[in-house]
Amino acid sequence: MSRWIYPLIGLLLALAAASPVLAEPALADSLPPGVTIRKDVAYGADDDQRMDIYLPANARNAPILLMAHGGGWKRGDKEMGRVVTNKVARWAPKGVIVASVNYRMIPDLPPSGQVEDVARALAKLQEMAPELGGDPANVILMGHSAGGHLVSLLNAAPEIGTAQGAKPWKGAVSLDSGALNVPAIMEKRHFKLYDEAFGTDPAEWNRASPYHRLAGATPPILFVCREGKYPCREAGAYSAKAKGFGNSVEILPQDKSHGEINWELGEPGPYTDAVEAFMRKLGWGV
């Protein structure tokens, strides 16, 4: 493996985190017809423990998508257009409730704590589901980049969700996470971004590593990754271990950039169709 792989991954994540998408207008300014939004729903006391919930018209026992944004574990926002616009436009009109989640970030909270925020948001969303017209048992987790790492970690260690009051969910979609095996990253040449996120304690690396937290039965997961790049190879190693426990893992390589894997999901075409095929396997009618 080239010694430049980890720095390049880190650079891509950093560039994505610093992208102008942070300045994009909120989707609330141009919602699809019939879709409404509940903004800044609290799932904790901190100002960052908030989520926006996009509601389809006349929702009844609707499936739910919980989306965690990326940004190198230190920046990003639930309102970023490239996080929500195409996903809401695609799935909310089809009767899916879409929730976009903020969470506390470094330096205030390491990734091993950030995943607990995502789990708390899931628990709150499931608690609210009957009022929203949603099915609390029919939830798919999704995240991009750092958010993909967090949903992968939660899916690999469902006990994290249980400890925060979450009930079982159907599965997860991880969009180009390059941090499935954290110790493997930290023990080789890597970008400073990872030092900021994971520090120097090997015990913390293990706590935040989906590969190392995987120890038994988990919900199914789909890894979308850049074709031929490190995240796909990481997903392959994770898949081999997960299938040893009888778990279902699918890998969807794409000839797309790190950012395109996020913002093009929801646009018409074979990429979105392939992700929807995975969703249908989990019981969604999209």
Q: How confident is the model at residue 44 (pLDDT cuts 50, 70, 90)?
A: very high
Instruction: Report yes or no: 90 and 266 within 8 Å, Cβ to Cβ.
Output: yes
Query: Which amino acid, 253?
Result: P
d(C-alpha 231, C-alpha 179), whole Å: 8
Q: Report if residue 217 sits inside a domain.
A: yes
How does pLDDT run across 210-232, given as a tens digit for each residue? Answer: 999 999 999 999 999 999 888 99
The residue segments making up the domain with residue 212 are 5-281
Cα 174 to the chain's mean position, in Å? 5
Whether the ω angle into residue 107 lies within 30 degrees of 0, i.e. cis, is yes
How does pLDDT run across 181-190, given as a tens digit for each residue? Answer: 999 999 998 9
Q: Report if residue 28 sits inside a domain.
A: yes
pLDDT-above-90 percentage for the chain: 86
Output the pLDDT for position 7: 41
Q: Report if residue 195 sits inside a domain.
A: yes
In a 10 Å sphere around its CB, with 0-12 CB exposed, 13-18 middle and 19+ buried, how is residue 31 labelled? middle
How does pLDDT run across 80-109, given as a tens digit for each residue? Answer: 999 999 999 999 999 999 999 999 999 999
Q: Provide mean pLDDT across the span 160-166.
A: 98
Output the pLDDT for position 107: 96
d(C-alpha 167, C-alpha 21), whole Å: 33
Instruction: Report yes or no: 230 and 12 within 8 Å, Cβ to Cβ.
Output: no
Instruction: Report yes or no: 165 and 118 within 8 Å, Cβ to Cβ.
Output: no
Domain count, the chain: 1
Q: Report if residue 286 sits inside a domain.
A: no
Instruction: Report yes or no: 96 and 139 within 8 Å, Cβ to Cβ.
Output: no
Q: Report if residue 271 sits inside a domain.
A: yes
- Assign residue 266 a region (left: φ > 0; alpha: ψ between -120 and 50; beta: otherwise): left
Q: Report if residue 186 sits inside a domain.
A: yes
CATH number at residue 77: 3.40.50.1820
Q: Provide mean pLDDT across the span 153-159.
A: 98
In the predicted structure, residue 16 carries a pLDDT above the cut 60? no
Tell me the pTM.
0.90
